[in-house]
Amino acid sequence: MSATGQAQAGKAKADTVVHSGKIYTGVDKEPWVEAVAIRDGVVVAAGKSGKMLKRAATDATLIDLGGRMAMAGIIDAHSHPVDGAVMKLFECTFPFSATPDEIAAAVTACVAGAGDEPWIAGGQWDSNFFVNNKIASPRKFLDKVSGGKAVGLVDDSGHNAWLNTKALKLVGITAQTPDPAGGRIGREADGKTPNGVLEETAATIASPFLTAHTPEQFAAAVEEMQVMLNGLGITAVKIANMPDEHLEAVALADADGDLRLHVTTSLATHYGARSEKLDVAGLISKRDQYKTANVNTNAVKIFLDGVPTAARTAGMLAPYAPDSHFPDGYLGEMHLTEELLAADMTALDAAGFAVKIHTAGDGSVRRALNAIEVARKANGMGGKQHELAHAGYVDPADIARFKALNVAPDFSPFIWSPSPIIDSVVQAVGPRGEHYWPTKDLIESGAVIVAGSDWPSAVSSPSPWPGIETLVTRRAADGDYDGALWPEEAVSLEDAIEIYTENSATALDVENVTGRIEKGAIADIIVLSQNIFDVDPAKISDTEVVLTLFKGKVVSAKGPFEALTAGK
C-alpha cells in the first residue's frame, strides 16, 4: 500500500471497527482475520476482534458481522454502467431470450407509454436472433408495432442495431447508402433496400439518435448506477468506453460529493475504420478537464474489431465456419492497420495513458500485442499496463506475450459461459470456438487477468457473483444451459477473487490503495450473505451483499444491517 496510507494507519484510534466476522483479506501472509479497524476511511489494523475493538475510539461505530464473511470490495474492470442505467430508466427493454412476439409486445407497450416522444430506443435482441427467426423484412416487422414512431433496438453485444422504416429515414440510410468500412447495412431481397439491420460501424450511423438523452437523465443514471453497483458489492468500476456526456455527469457527481465509487474512465475514440492517427493532445486535454478525486481519466478505449458471433466481425487468424453469406476463407474485419495502431499506442503510452483495446478475435489479439510491442520498444517498459478486452481467443504462441509486454487480458466471464451468445460464437467460429477463454493457461504464464461484467452487453445485471462462479465452474451460473465451456481452464476460488479484486485494481490504477484488506488500504469492504468458500461452487451466484463500505462509510445496507444509515 502507499506510503501515505501507511502513515495514516499509525496507532491512531479507530472511528469504525468491523468485527466478529470471517474476513478474507486477499493477503497471502494473513488471508483471514476476524476484524478490521478503520480511521478516516483507511484500514489501520486487521486481526483478532478483541485486539481491534481495543483500538476503537469511544464514539466509534462498531459493526458486528455475526460470523458473516467479508472481503475487499469488488472491482469491475469492464462495464458500461451509465449506458445500463440509462437503458433501465429510460428505454424500451426486453430479455435477451425474447421471441419475435415478445419483442412486438414490448415495443407496442413502450409506444403506448411514450407520449409525444418521437423515438423508441432500447433492446436487446440476441446475437442469433435473425439466424433463429426468419423475418423477411426486419424493418417492416417493427413498422407494424411502431405507432408511427421511429424505433431502434440494439443487440446483446451492443455492436448491432435494428431500425424500422421511419428510423432509417431519420438517420439518413437509403438504398443508395453504401456499406461503411467495417460495417454492413442489411438489404432486402432486391439487394438494395435497407432491411433495418445495421452491423458494426453501420450501427454507429444511428447511435447519435439512439443515445440522445438530457443532462438530467444522465445525472439520474449516474445515481442509479451507484445504487446498483454498491448494492452488488462493487466499490470501483472502469467504464469501458466513456463519451463526453457520461464523463460530464460522473465528474459533476464527484464535484458535488455524490460519487460513492472509484471510477476510471476509458476515454472514447472513433469507432470503426480510420486512417488518421488519434488526436492524443485532445485526449490529454480531456483527461485534465474531467479528472476529480474519485474519477481517474487516464485511460483510453480503442476498438480494433467487432464480435465473433453471427455477425462475424471479429478479426481471426483462421477462417470462420463456411456460410453462404460470407466469402470462403473469411477472417472477419479489423478497423485499424497494424502500423496505425502501433503509432497510436506509441503516442498514448508515451503520454502515460492506459489503453483498453477491444480484441474479440485471435487475429486482433495478435495485432494489438504487436502494436504494444512496438510501443514498449520505443518508450521502454515503464508505461501503464494496457488491456486487451474480450481476449477470449488467444493463439498459444501469444499466451506468454501478455506478461512479457505488461498487458492484461480483460475477461467478462459471465457473458462467455454457456449461453445464447456462446451458441452464436461456436456456430460462427466452428469447433475451435469451444476453446474460448484460456484462463488457467494465462494465469500459469504469469499474466494478470482482470475482469468485469460488460453490463449491459449480454448480461441483465452487473453482478460479479455469476462471473466469479463461472471462472470456477466454467458452467452457466443461471442454470439455463447444460454443459461446461472448456472445463480444463477452470480456476480456484482464490484465483477468481484475486481477478475481481487485486488484479482488477491494476486496471483502474488503484492497486496501491484498494483491492485487499490490509494496513494502509482504503476501507472498501463488503459483507456477504454466505461464505462463498463453504458453499457448493454452483451456488456462488446466489450470493447477496448485505453491507458495502466505501472509504469506510456505509453506502449500501440490507437485511441484518439495514438499520445502518448510508453515509454514516
% residues pLDDT > 90 (the chain): 90
Query: What is the per-residue pLDDT for 4?
Result: 47
pLDDT tier for residue 416 given thresholds of 50, 70 and 90: confident
Q: Assess contact for 428 and 421: CB atoms under 8 A.
A: no
Region of residue 196 (phi > 0: left; psi between -120 and 50: alpha; otherwise: beta): left
State mean pLDDT over 274-285: 97
Q: What pLDDT, in 10s, does the model give residues 522-565?
A: 999 999 999 999 999 999 999 999 999 999 999 999 999 999 97
Average pLDDT over every residue of 206-214: 90
Does 11 have pLDDT greater than 90?
Answer: no
Residue 16 phi, psi (nearest 5): -145, 135
Mean pLDDT, to the nearest integer, of 442-465?
A: 96
Residue with cell 453506502: 555
Contact 189, 58 (CB under 8 A): no
298-508 under CATH 3.20.20.140, yes or no? yes
Residue 316 three-state SS = coil
Q: What is the pLDDT of residue 493?
A: 98
The chain-wide mean pLDDT, for the chain, equals 95
3-state secondary structure of 401: helix
**Predicted pLDDT at 566:** 53
Q: Look up residue 388 and give its three cell numbers.
A: 486487451
Distances (CA, A) of 523 to 18, 183, 264, 492, 516: 10, 46, 18, 25, 9
How large is the average pLDDT for residues 181-209?
Answer: 94
CB 314 within 8 A of CB 307: yes
Place 482 in a pLDDT band, splitting at 50, 70 and 90. Answer: confident
pLDDT at 7: 45
pLDDT over 90 (residue 417): no
CA neighbours within 13 Å on the CB side: how many for 512?
6
pLDDT, one tens digit per residue, over 106-120 is 999 999 999 999 999
Domain boundaries, the chain: 3-73+518-561, 82-210, 298-508
The 10s digit of each residue's pLDDT in 491-523 is 999 999 999 999 999 999 999 999 999 999 999
**Band of residue 568 on the pLDDT scale cut at 50, 70, 90:** very low
- The values of phi and psi at residue 14, to 5°, are -85, 140
Domain 3-73+518-561 -> CATH class: mainly beta
Direct distance between the N- and C-terminal alpha carbons of the chain, in angstroms, rounded to an integer: 25
**Cell 521502454, residue?**
380
Query: Using one digit for the tens of pLDDT, what is the confidence trace for 88-110?
Result: 999 999 999 999 999 999 999 99
Per-residue pLDDT reduced to its tens digit, 289-342:
999 999 999 999 999 999 999 999 999 999 999 999 999 999 999 999 999 999
User: Residue 1's pLDDT is what?
Assistant: 56
pTM higher than the cut 0.75:
yes
pLDDT(8) > 50: no
**For residue 484, what is the DSSP state?**
B
- Burial tier of 349 (Cβ tally within 10 Å: 0-12, 13-18, 19+): buried
Q: How far is CA 97 from CA 102, 110, 128, 156, in A?
A: 9, 18, 10, 10
Which one is predicted more confidently, 42 or 96? Answer: 42
Does the structural domain 82-210 have CATH classification 3.10.310.70? yes
Nearest to 471 by CA among 534, 393, 516, 538: 538
Q: Note the pLDDT of residue 481.
A: 84
How far apart CA 177 and CA 474 sit, in angstroms, is 43
Give the tens place of pLDDT for each residue, 234-278. Answer: 999 999 999 999 999 999 999 999 999 999 999 999 999 999 999
pLDDT above 70 covers a percentage of the chain that reads: 98
